[in-house]
Structure 1
Amino acid sequence: MNPENLDLNQQIFKIIIFGEAGVGKTSIINRYINNTFNISSIPTFGVDFKFKEIDCDGKKANLQIWDTGGQKTVRMAFTQAIYKNAQAFIIVFDLTNPISFKAIDSFLLDIENNGTENPIIAIAGNKSDLTHKIDNPEEELLKMTNGKKYKIFLTSAKDAINIDELFYYVTKKFLKKNKNNPKQNSINSGIITLDNRMFERQEDPSNPRIGTKNNNSNKNSNKNSNQNLNDQHQQVLRIQKAKKQNCC
């Protein structure tokens, strides 16, 4: 989905996909967005993101799904862009690779240090179509996180198992959280909704546009909101290009 086609009357929900290299993050996203699977998927360098407009129990939302590379050094270079305005995180591990499971703790720590307060978190044990080498992942994760409970989905990007359910879960959580505390979402979001109008959040707190209902500026606000998403995407692409040029 192209950012220019976003319906600005709908809520924008930023989801970050974390996980070690090779666990199937990109494959999960491609299955969800395009309903496709490529066994020879190219590893993600740095970050990339895609959009999907969905209907969740009668409520529409625009998902901005960020695909992050598995290398920690690369992720660190994108820390600010990744965590800015992120409302949910999906941590993916490979059910056939115990090392990728043990890495969950590190991702949770990074989210705790860099993310917003009380983010939505789900865990995806991918490649359930293959032989499982991790017995009782729910029990093992509970031990790892000192009793903190996270929803675990056993997924298969190849066979399209529990992919829709995974994203439905985090989206429903977001919509419920936003309904119960809409001000919190507005504060943390780069684009905020006020009385069904979209306004771009400014860094300067003295800017009178923030929270001001102005019919004359509404069209410009909508245009700036879309431009904000485009600028963010272009910034990521520029950083990716620069890193590729310097990597060899």
Structure 2
Amino acid sequence: MSVNASQDIPGLKQKKVFKIIVLGDSGVGKTCLTYRFCEGQFLNKSEATIGVDFRERIIKIRNEDIKLQLWDTAGQERFRKSMVQHYYRNVHAVVIVYDVTKPETFHSISAWMQEIESHGLMNAPRVLVGNKCDCGTPESRLATTYAQRLADKYGMPLFETSALLDSECDNVESIFLTLAHKLYSKQPLRVISVAGEVSKGVVTLSRQRKVGCSSDQNSCLCN
């Protein structure tokens, strides 16, 4: 019996998939931010990312399922050299994170922006995030005015938050949902994925067969 090409394939549906990369120096809390957004809680035992940490979450925009893929890369240069090209491939949006208690991580933002520009992503939606607002004292944290000035220079919104505090959960949500809504409005190409799929790759359909588809730590908990 012939297969109707227009027939729906059971177990499959279309989703928009957005790849969002998270940049920043080592120890600024990139992994904790993505974990908070995807799992809804703080990652109590966080080790330095070696290579790439990958998480997904499905959200709804206008009753449509949208899959956000969050790629969190190692901040240390020695871990990044071998995978930078792969990391930046097919990126839709960028999150740049700094530690509000460590000015050197804020000063590194210009270098991260140069890397973004070298990979042709200056027109992609971007946000700047000051993390670890629960640490230090108000006097020891980087002033919001300095961060806002830099965010304005590069044309991106600024968020200041903490991956540790439950009270900041909505603020962490806003970071990634802001990007998701911007990307949704652009109506990018759809990709096919298996409903309930747990694998990280893109599924290729075939009509003839069934397709399956340790770190440096300091006293702050949100390293």
TM-score norm. by structure 1 comes to 0.67
Query: Which sections of structure 2, spanning at least 5 residues, go unmatched?
Result: 1-10, 194-203, 214-223
Structure 1 residue 137: deviation in Å?
3.6
Q: How many residues are treated as equivalent by the alignment?
A: 185
- Deviation per residue, 1:1-40 (Å, 9 max, x gap): xxxxx96411010000111111000111111111221344
- Deviation per residue, 1:91-128 (Å, 9 max, x gap): 01001111101111111110111144611111110011
Of the candidates 155, 158, 174, which is equivalent to residue 161 of structure 2?
155
8 A Cα contact 2:26 2:48, kept in partner: yes
> How many Å separate the matches in 2 of 1:115 and 1:64?
20
**Amino acid of the residue matched to residue 175 of structure 1?**
Y
User: Mean alpha-carbon deviation: is it higher for 50-59 or for 14-23?
Assistant: 50-59
8 A Cα contact 2:133 2:162, kept in partner: yes
> How many Å separate the matches in 2 of 1:152 and 1:118?
17
Of the candidates 3, 9, 17, which is equivalent to residue 14 of structure 2?
9
- Deviating beyond 4 angstroms after TM superposition, the runs of 4 or more aligned structure 1 residues are 223-227
Change (3 A) 1:95 1:105: same
Change (3 A) 1:138 1:224: farther
8 A Cα contact 1:56 1:168, kept in partner: no
Give SS of 2:186's match: helix
CA-based RMSD of the aligned residues comes to 2.7
Of the candidates 106, 119, 134, which is equivalent to residue 129 of structure 1?
134
> How many Å separate the matches in 2 of 1:224 and 1:103?
48
Change (3 A) 1:57 1:152: farther
> How many Å separate the matches in 2 of 1:157 and 1:95?
13
Residue number in structure 2 paired with 1:170? 179
Residue number in structure 2 paired with 1:209? none
Identity in percent: 30
TM-score norm. by structure 2 comes to 0.74
8 A Cα contact 2:36 2:43, kept in partner: no
8 A Cα contact 1:52 1:63, kept in partner: yes
Change (3 A) 1:102 1:225: farther
Structure 1 residue 50: deviation in Å?
1.1
Query: Which sections of structure 1, spanning at least 5 residues, go unmatched?
Result: 1-5, 179-184, 187-191, 200-217, 228-248
Greater helix percent: which structure?
A: 1
Q: What are the within-5 Å matches in structure 2 for residues 177-192 of structure 1? A: 177-178=186-187, 185-186=188-189, 192=190
Give SS of 2:81's match: helix
Change (3 A) 1:19 1:137: same
Residue number in structure 2 paired with 1:25? 30
**Amino acid of the residue matched to residue 157 of structure 2?**
K
Residue 78 of structure 2 corresponds to residue 69 of structure 1: no
Q: What are the within-5 Å matches in structure 2 for residues 62-101 of structure 1? A: 62-101=67-106
Give SS of 1:23's match: coil
Residue number in structure 2 paired with 1:220? 206
Structure 1 residue 57: deviation in Å?
4.3
8 A Cα contact 2:31 2:53, kept in partner: no
**Amino acid of the residue matched to residue 181 of structure 2?**
K
8 A Cα contact 2:96 2:128, kept in partner: yes
**Does 1 or 2 have the higher relative contact order (CA < 8 Å, sep 6+)?**
2
8 A Cα contact 1:83 1:115, kept in partner: no
8 A Cα contact 2:116 2:122, kept in partner: no
Structure 1 residue 44: deviation in Å?
0.5
- Deviation per residue, 1:169-218 (Å, 9 max, x gap): 0101110122xxxxxx44xxxxx45xxxx49xxxxxxxxxxxxxxxxxx9
